[in-house]
């Protein structure tokens, strides 16, 4: 079983996360932000990644730190659970509708963190949550998980539908990408021969890797 746990404590948030990449989509999520819980439950359910999240953040300020740090912690847990990334399918893509909204997500478990975010909202808030925070979550997740992530809302009107279709598409794309490829179960899917953090430590200053650093964990 590819499982990992992460504890992340700062002055702003206290978060514990457990993931099992080879799960059944069982979740137990509590961040203190109802809408974010709803999204993380979609992520687990449709990726088949078992997910436990306990977050206690400084919600009296706003939802920014808790949203971003939850993305970091879940990303770190996924990264850890992927280990040396040998045998994974590596790439995944999904186009998921929710009524009138359609969102495409493409994932590359490349250990080259990068986010392309082409999602716009017509309202500043969903429930109590600022819609601009969803980009922060995806940026933090991409950075910490070591994945290239392209998120493209093709069309849609309802803001709840738009963001929910993005999380569901992430889930389905991730499910493909982290699945062990039976035809290449022992091989690292890269001609470079390495995809893991430990093996690529020396290339952290790589310009392409650094491109994606802005945003995650900075504020």
Residues that bind Mn ion (CB under 5 A): 164
Quote the DSSP letter at residue 180: B
CB 3 within 8 A of CB 27: no
Q: How far is the CB of 148 from Mn ion (least distance, A)?
A: 27
**Which C-beta is closer to Mn ion: that of 108 or that of 164?**
164
Q: How far is the CB of 8 from Mn ion (least distance, A)?
A: 27
Q: How far is the CB of 39 from Mn ion (least distance, A)?
A: 8
Q: How far is the CB of 55 from Mn ion (least distance, A)?
A: 20
**Which C-beta is closer to Mn ion: that of 127 or that of 190?**
127
**Which C-beta is closer to Mn ion: that of 153 or that of 209?**
153
Q: Say how many CA atoms lie within 13 Å of 114 toward its Cβ.
A: 16
**Which C-beta is closer to Mn ion: that of 68 or that of 164?**
164
- Give the gyration radius of the chain's Cα atoms: 16
Closest residue to Mn ion: CB criterion: 164
3-state SS assignment for residue 88: strand
What H or E segment, with its residue span, contains residue 18?
Answer: strand 13-20
């Amino acid at each position: 079983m590819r499982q990992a746990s992460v504890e992340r404590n700062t002055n702003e948030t206290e978060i514990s996360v457990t993931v099992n990449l080879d799960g059944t989509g069982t979740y137990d999520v509590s961040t203190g932000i109802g809408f974010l819980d709803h999204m993380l439950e979609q992520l687990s359910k449709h990726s088949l990644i078992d997910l436990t999240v306990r977050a206690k953040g400084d919600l009296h300020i706003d939802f920014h730190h808790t949203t971003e740090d939850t993305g970091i912690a879940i990303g770190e847990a996924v990264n850890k659970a992927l280990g040396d990334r040998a045998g994974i399918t590596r790439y995944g893509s999904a186009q998921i509708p929710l009524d009138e909204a359609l969102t495409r997500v493409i994932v590359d478990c490349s250990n080259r963190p990068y986010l392309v975010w082409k999602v716009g909202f017509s309202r500043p808030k969903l429930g109590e949550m600022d819609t601009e925070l969803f980009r922060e979550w995806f940026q933090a997740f991409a950075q910490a998980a070591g994945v290239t992530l392209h998120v493209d809302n093709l069309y849609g009107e309802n803001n709840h539908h738009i963001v929910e279709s993005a999380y569901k598409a992430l889930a389905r794309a991730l499910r493909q990408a982290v699945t062990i490829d039976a035809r290449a179960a022992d091989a690292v899917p890269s001609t470079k021969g390495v995809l893991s953090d430990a093996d690529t430590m020396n290339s952290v200053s790589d310009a392409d890797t650094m491109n994606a650093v802005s945003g995650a964990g900075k504020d």
